[in-house]
Amino acid sequence: MSRMFLKIVQRTGRGLLSLLVAGLLLGRSASAVVINFSDLPPNTIYGYTISDSGYTFHEAQSGLFTMGSTIYGGILNYLQSSISDSTAGGTTVMTYGGGAFNVSSVAVAAQHTSGLPTVTFTGTYATGGTVTQSIATTTLAAFTVGNLVGFNDLVSLSWVQASPYNQLTNFNVVPTPEPHLLLLTLSLLAAFLISGSRTSVLGD
């Protein structure tokens, strides 16, 4: 077996390994998830913080609780796990381990038969500044799904509880690839391309 052939094999192997690692990094940094609180027991008070799928929800006034399958006293449950809080003016803040994330949609419903709430979401960009959008519920019979526009590369998403009260679920989120992961991925892809071009030259 010639030295040239061995070099071709080695360089090709390094290139393929670089491509594999790059793919794994991209997959890890951009794993979409729907947060629906289905792993949490319904109708349970959790205090100030709830965590699900790596995301944290924090409300510092009265705390958060889950809703679910039991209907009682005018409280609306839709056989769907959700979160809510019981204090007017209470602000819930959603974060992702200090990293940035994108939110494409969320489902909103009334907590009580007293009325249809409108929920205003505020996203804080990693680069500074905010984006705001309101989602109005349209029926007491089900959740209203609202698409959020421009809620990308956020460090937090927040909303305020107000009468008539709301409950929320099905947050469609995906982490924003961190700059150092993007740089590493691009470097690995570049190494693969360079390796491939050298192998091509050697084989000519």
Per-residue pLDDT of the chain (204 residues; tens, 9 = 90+): 455 544 543 554 454 444 444 444 444 445 899 999 988 888 888 889 999 999 999 998 888 998 875 554 567 777 788 999 888 888 999 999 879 999 999 999 999 888 999 999 999 999 999 999 999 999 998 999 999 999 999 999 999 999 999 999 999 999 987 554 444 444 555 555 555 555 544 555
Q: What are phi and psi of 14, to 5 degrees?
A: -65, -40
pLDDT of residue 75: 74
* DSSP state, residue 177: P
Domain ranges of the chain: 3-29+180-203, 33-176
Chain centroid, CA 194 distance in Å: 35
Superfamily of domain 33-176: Protein of unknown function DUF4465 (2.60.120.1350)
DSSP letters along 42-86, please?
A: SS-EEETEEEETTEEEEESSS-EEEE-S--BTTB---SS-EEEE-
pLDDT of residue 204: 56
The Cα-based distances of 118 to 80, 137, 181, 187 in angstroms read 19, 6, 38, 46
Q: What are phi and psi of 87, to 5 degrees?
A: -120, 125
